[in-house]
Amino acid sequence: MQSIKLKSKSVMQLTPRSRMYSQVPLEMVAELPDCNLQREYLSRVKKMIPHFNKQAESVLDFTVFNITRPFSVTVSGTKYHIAAGLQKADGHTRTEAWTKHDPAFVPSTVNVKVVDIHDAEQFKTEYYSYDSSEATEKTVHKITGALNLLNIDMRSSRGKKGTFGESIRYAYPHGKTWIGEMIGFFRHELPLVDRYIMQVDSKELRAQTSTLTCAFLIALKVYGKPAEQKQQLISMMKKLSTITADDWQIKHNPHNDDKTRFDGAQLIIREAIKPVVTVPGTKREDYINSLDFYLYCINNWMQGKFIKQIQDNKFQGCYQEAMEIVEDL
């Protein structure tokens, strides 16, 4: 690493195999060859530039491998010949963005950690510590971090693990943003949904947890005030938390004297048992279709209406209408 050492403000020995160089000219790192195991990154450049423009201190830190002798490494049946010399260990997307595009922020110098690599095992160990799926912060980690930061008490397994990212994304009305901002927006609603919807008794409803969680996060915003209205919605959530395929038909609302008609909670579990107007799936249109249906059922519960059959044209657009209300809150 002599060339970088000569143009670095300072060098610090970190371990017997690693050193840190400060204020290294960006072009010196950009010109190094890519890591042999580097995944495709060119398609990510434009998407990542707005993040790099935020100028977080972490974007200035790079790792470079110093391959002390040539060797071969086999990964997933493919054999790679690793030449002696320097190569990027991380920062491929950043150097591509800064040297071949025109972002708002381009640093003139960066910090470089150089790691000596003597054999194939060290090469794989070091590389995957930076670029494996296990080393990457996932959405669930961001969610649990935000829950801890905001001191939001979640009791269900799903709630504690943070596996409701899709629910939050569809419920949040203000577009893409930091997940912590979304969690904060629903900080009062999440514990209620966690208590009643994320741990329902019905196995059929558990299969719909993501869309149900989303629908009730939205509904709690719409019907969260005054307190009497909120309690009416919570009573529906309580019913859904205990209703099952065996008893849903007999658990009639006390105000319903027509046993051929059903309240919103009963209609939701009836649909979960045998889908008629919703389409189970992960496509956006399927997800929104379910949200339309659930919010329609919630609206009818809140209005004290009992229904026998549901027609598609009766509930389509309920999600969009609800989101317009939530957006103005």
Which portions of the chain are predicted below pLDDT 70?
1-8, 76, 131-138
Show the tokens assigned to 151: 């001191």
CA 321 from centre of chain: 25
Domain ranges of the chain: 2-135, 139-327
Please return the burial class of 6, using the count of CB atoms within 10 Å of its CB with bins 0-12, 13-18 and 19+: exposed
User: What is the structure's pLDDT at 180?
Assistant: 83
pTM of the model: 0.64
3-state secondary structure the chain: CHHHHHCCCEEEEEECCEEEEEEEEHHHHHCCCCCCCCCCCHHHHHHHHHHHCCCCHHHHEEEEEEECCCEEEEECCEEEEECCEEEECCCHHHHHHHHHCCCCCCCCEEEEEEEEECCHHHHHHHHHHHHCHHHCCCHHHHHHHHHHHCCCCCCCHHHHHCCCHHHHHHHCCCCCCCHHHHHHHCCCCHHHHHHHCCCCCCHHHHCCHHHHHHHHHHHHHHCCCCHHHHHHHHHHHHHHHHCCCCCCCCCCCCCCCCCCCECHHHHHHHHHHCCCCCCCCCCHHHHHHHHHHHHHHHHHHHCCCCECCCCHHHHCCHHHHHHHHHHCC
* Nearest one of 241, 146, 177 to 164, comparing CA atoms: 146
User: What is the structure's pLDDT at 6?
Assistant: 43
Residue 163: phi and psi, rounded to 5, are -90, 55
